[in-house]
Amino acid sequence: MNQEKPEILCIASCSIGLEALLLDELRELGAINLKETISAVAFTGTLEVAYRCCLWSRLANRILYVVKFFSITSVDELYQNTFNIAWEQHFSPNESFSVDFRGTNKFLDNSLFGARRIKDAVVDRFKIMLGRRPSVDTKTPKLRLNVRLNKNRVQLSIDLAGESLHRRGYRLASGPAPLKENLAAALLLRSGWPEISMRGGGLIDPMCGGGTFLIEAAMIAGDIAPGLLRGKFGFEYWAFHEAPVWESLVSEAKARRVIGLKNLRSDIRGFDIDPKAIEATRLNLEACDLDKNIQIAARPIDQIDAVSKEKGLLITNPPYGKRLDDLNTLRPVYRKISSVLKQNFRGWRASVFTGNLELAREIDLSPSRQYKLYNASIPCKLLVFEDIRSKSEQIRTRLATPPLPRELGSDAQMLFNRLKKNRRKLNSWLKANSTNCYRLYDCDLPEYAIAIDVYKDMLLIQEYQLPSHLEEAKGALRFENALKVVKNCAIDWKYRVLYKQRVRQRGLRQYQKSDDQAPIILVVEEGSAKFEVNLTSYIDTGLFLDHRKLRARIASEIKGKSFLNLFCYTATASVQAALGGAESSLSCDMSNTYISWANRNMRLNNISTFAHRLLRVDCVQWLNSDRSINKSFDIILLDPPTFSNSKKMAKVFDIARNHEDLIIRCMQLLMPRGTLYFSTNFKKFKMSEEITRQFFVRDITNETIDYDFQRKPKMHRVCAIKNR
């Protein structure tokens, strides 16, 4: 058993407006106990987690190790509290340092004076304890001390990053007013680039300047750590630095870069009317060795069109203008952006980042989302357009929808409007994702406790069982009204309507057929895969829509590898793995119904069940039996039920109690560099501390929530687990 490693308290700083994104990123990197504040996120984790954040954070400015918090009532107390810290244990007097001090209060109204008192305390401590002192270097120090004063409270930290993390190391040249690299990464994340790149969609920046969007996009799509090119980090001069841990993370990141670029499917291109900007981009691409993965050319925006078969993202940061003459010059530029989008990029997503909303109004499109951010000190907005049609065209479409009968009332009108809005927002995503099965509505309005899924031309309405305290008659009336609203929409959309009530299933009921309705069986598409769904016979349809992105993730990582799918249900993940190039797979489930269904899914996709085997077995028993000995897999998907007392299982299964044994046994079957994806729908699930001690566990839930489920993101929880 690995010895438990101590946790440290850290602060990750960022630009205003990026805190929520940064919190999600840090959680995925293994940080725990996260707390969002203004321009920062506090967290705890091992030193390895702190290193990983320095290497992999695309959004943070700095990762600060908190040495001490203390309160002061005078400048002398600031000095004395700092002097009392054993600085000689943190760094050598041979290393230079600097102090970054921010904040003032009633008795300390000058931050430079505050920095000087911190410096004096540190230097005096070294002279008394060691007889010699470190030098102060305000330009290129080896170690930076970071001090934040808020009223009378002081936070004193060591900057593990050194230079700001936005300095990736690739910017040798730039155009006018370049974006910071971590801001560019944030804009790409807000624009949905990770999802677009995962399905092979392209990216275009028609005004690429120094190529920041292009490089950050390639790093995201190619699984490249943004810190790989940096020469040094602050922690390398810190006495508690663990070089073997850091070197292991760098080696892992280098290996992931090679694999990521090999699997990179996105066509990334940059254009600019200025040849000097293209030359600057070329130098930067060569500096990060991405010149073969990104194409650039000097070309005006009106000579650019879509470049990839998959729908992609056009993202740009056009000039803002400061003077009235600038505005008059730039209005045609923004109009041209609008016309090029409408002519050449229907079905694509477009994102425009601008600090001038007056100019943005020249774009004749309605943004589906807007984000307030800052470019340095300039207040800006990211406008995301998912419906590349003119405002007048969108209005005509809305007016053409048949009106809702008045007698249904205002609540029904709200549902009617919400369904139209959801469908409108999903349209461009659907075109780009090549799927005809998705979630349209999921209890968005508390008055209507229903879920609506689309399967080809069928709207499946599932009524959740009403809480016991609600009147049955009132609930029945609401559902009747909801049904009328959906049918009204279905007429306009040329869809059929089917409905059923969801109730909690116990024992074997989830496996038993319903005799209430004749089977309605369809074949639906998810990317290149085809799946059989049964909309009436069982509580579930045979396809967990909320796991779509997890299936896509596995497919993108599995080429030439082996895959184990435990509690496989209808083996949809195995189908995607096989289509993604898996060398072999084994799918296990104890249900004859599901194994037969899985076999039909394999046949639908012309997949050989010799290489991709199906096994009806109790997965828990199989894991603990001789049949699993000497087997190993590159990727394992473990998606057990929350609870089961099926007669086919040897014992009652409870995910809260049994997950630790299951995961440990799966990790014994995993290749050294493999990944176990553990998924659960149990809302109160808490990972065993033993698992987090033995293995590296990363919560990737947010990465597995697709666009149609973002309104209700807690459908499931997914962790990626690797050997330490």
Under CATH, which number does the domain 181-229+259-393 receive?
A: 3.40.50.150
Token pair of 116 as six digits: 């000087």
Residue ranges covered by each domain of the chain: 8-159, 181-229+259-393, 401-503, 521-723
pLDDT value at residue 277: 94
Low-confidence ranges of the chain (pLDDT < 70): 1-4, 307-310, 322-325, 390-409, 465-475, 501-517, 628-629, 645-652, 713
Residue 22 near residue 60, CB atoms below 8 Å: yes
CA distance 662 to 550: 20
Distances (CA, A) of 174 to 116, 209, 212, 286, 374: 35, 7, 9, 14, 19
**What is the second-level CATH architecture of the domain 8-159?**
2-Layer Sandwich (3.30)
Residue 623 near residue 666, CB atoms below 8 Å: yes
Does domain 401-503 sit in CATH 3.40.50.10860? no
Token pair of 575 as six digits: 């189908």
pLDDT value at residue 507: 41
Pick the CATH number of 521-723 from 3.40.50.2300, 3.40.50.150, 3.30.1330.10, 3.90.226.10: 3.40.50.150
- 181-229+259-393 and 521-723: identical CATH topology: yes
Give the list of residues 6+ apart from residue 232 with CB closer than 8 angstroms, or none. Answer: 162, 163
pLDDT value at residue 508: 40
pLDDT value at residue 2: 44
According to DSSP, the residues that pair with 316 across neighbouring strands are 352
Residue 566 near residue 636, CB atoms below 8 Å: yes
Residue 245 parent element (H or E): helix 243-262
pLDDT value at residue 347: 83
CA distance 681 to 639: 9
Q: 220-266, pLDDT tens digit by residue?
A: 999 999 999 998 999 999 999 999 999 999 999 999 999 999 989 89
Q: 387-438, pLDDT tens digit by residue?
A: 777 666 665 655 555 566 656 667 788 888 899 889 988 887 887 778 999 9
Q: Which long-range contacts (CB under 8 A, 24 or more apart) does 486-493 make?
A: 486/419, 486/452, 486/459, 486/461, 488/402, 488/404, 488/405, 488/416, 489/416, 489/419, 489/420, 489/423, 489/459, 490/459, 491/402, 492/401, 492/402, 493/423
According to DSSP, the residues that pair with 525 across neighbouring strands are 530
Q: What is the dihedral of CA 22, 25, 26, 28, to 10 degrees?
A: 160
- Reduced to 3 states, what is the DSSP secondary structure of residue 347? coil
Residues in the chain: 724
